[in-house]
Every structure is written in C-alpha cells, then in structure tokens.
Amino acid sequence: MQRSTMDLWVGLFVIAGIGALLILALKVGNLGTYSEAQSYTLIGNFENVGGLKIRAPVKSAGVVVGRVMDIQLSTKTFDAIVTMKIDNRYQFPKDTFASILTSGLLGAQYVGLAAGGDEGMLKSGDKIMKTNSALVLEDMIGQFLFDKASEDDGEF
C-alpha cells in the first residue's frame, strides 16, 4: 500500500468520524438550543412534585427554557426543593408562577413557568415564591367523588 493512498483513506475516515459526531450533536442532539455554560439557577419549593424527574424540561408558554437539575426533600418544611437551570436568554419577573404540569393525559411531567408583571427579574439562585404542586390523579379522583357526594347531599 502506497503511503499517500493510506494517508488519504485515513483522512477520509477521520473526516467521516468527525462528521458523524457533528451530525449526532447537531441534527440528533439538537445542540445549541440549550447549553449549560450560559444558564442560571432557580429554586422552587413544591408541596408535591408528583412524578417529576431530574432532567425534565422547564417550559414557559410551551417553549423549553431549561431543565430540572435536582430534586430534594427539605428536612425543615418537608417540601420538595426543585433546582432548575434556566437558559440565560430567558429572564423571568420576580412574581413568576411555577407549576408542575403534565404533557398530555398520561405524559411526562414538567415544570411550567408563567411570567407575572413584576419589574424586578429573578437572579441566579433566587427562589420562586409562587408555586403550584403537581396534580396527582388519585387526589383528583378523590376530590371529584367528594364534591359529587356533597352535591348529592345538597339536593336532598
């Protein structure tokens, strides 16, 4: 095998390999919409996170703006402390409302942010004051049955 032919093949191989890596990164992994380096942290306390998982998306108006990084239980208030990384491009007012929502009826759960009207913006490490827990299906059914029962009571 001639030296130059070999070099050519190896060059092609390396280019193909790096090309495949780039395809994976850009076309499949969608690198660029979300980057850890340019992000800030927000914390929210929830009474109940339901089935929220680490790495679940954080969405505002349906747009992914960040990800859940950590979920822990506070030993003082026995709330769940959810740490989120939010893309630097998106800033939220201080009275932003965070709730745990479900995509579709039985889909995965995510954190939804609804912006308020405050002038000041949340900074890295800030805590979101207004939160709404996950809707737990069992609780909902229980509530529904309870309401139905009380309605029936009223009729009599």
Partner 1 sequence: MPRRIVIGIRGIGHRVIDSIWRLGYASRFFMLTLLKSGTSMRRFSLIIRELYFTGVLTLIIILVSGLFVGMVLGLQGYETLQKYGAETAVGTLVALSLVRELGPVVAGLLFASRAGSAITAEIGLMKVTEQLDAMGMMAVDPIARVVAPRFWAGVISMPLLAAIFSAMGIFGGYLVAVVLIGVDEGLFWSQMQSVVDFRFDIVNGIIKTCFFGVAVTAIAVFEGYDAQPTAEGVSGATTRTVVTSALVILGLDFVLTSFMFRGVG
Q: Which of 27, 61, 150, 153 binds partner 1 (CB under 8 A)?
A: 27
Q: Cα dihedral sign for 41, 42, 46, 49?
A: negative
Does residue 51 belong to the site contacting partner 1 (CB under 8 A)?
A: no
Query: Under 8 Å CB-to-CB from 38, ≥6 apart: which residues?
Result: 87, 88, 89
**DSSP letters for 28-81:** IS-TTS--STTEEEEEEEES--TT--TT-EEEETTEEEEEEEEEEE-TTT-PEE
Can you name the residues that pair with 110 across neighbouring β-strands? 101
Nearer to partner 1, 67 or 96 (CB): 67
Task: Tell me the closest approach of the beta carbon of residue 12 to partner 1, in angstroms.
Answer: 8
Nearer to partner 1, 106 or 151 (CB): 106
Task: Tell me the closest approach of the beta carbon of residue 112 to partner 1, in angstroms.
Answer: 16
Does residue 55 belong to the site contacting partner 1 (CB under 8 A)?
A: yes
Nearer to partner 1, 34 or 97 (CB): 34
Number of Cβ atoms within 10 Å of the Cβ of 63? 12
56 in Cβ contact with 111 (< 8 Å): yes
Q: Which of 40, 41, 43, 64 binds partner 1 (CB under 8 A)?
A: 64
Does residue 63 belong to the site contacting partner 1 (CB under 8 A)?
A: no
Q: Which of 2, 4, 36, 153 binds partner 1 (CB under 8 A)?
A: 36
Region of 48 (left: φ > 0; alpha: ψ -120 to 50; beta: rest) is: beta
Task: Tell me the closest approach of the beta carbon of residue 121 to partner 1, in angstroms.
Answer: 26
Write out the residues near partner 1 by the rule CB under 8 A.
Answer: 1, 6-7, 9-10, 12-14, 16-21, 23-25, 27-31, 33-34, 36, 53-55, 64
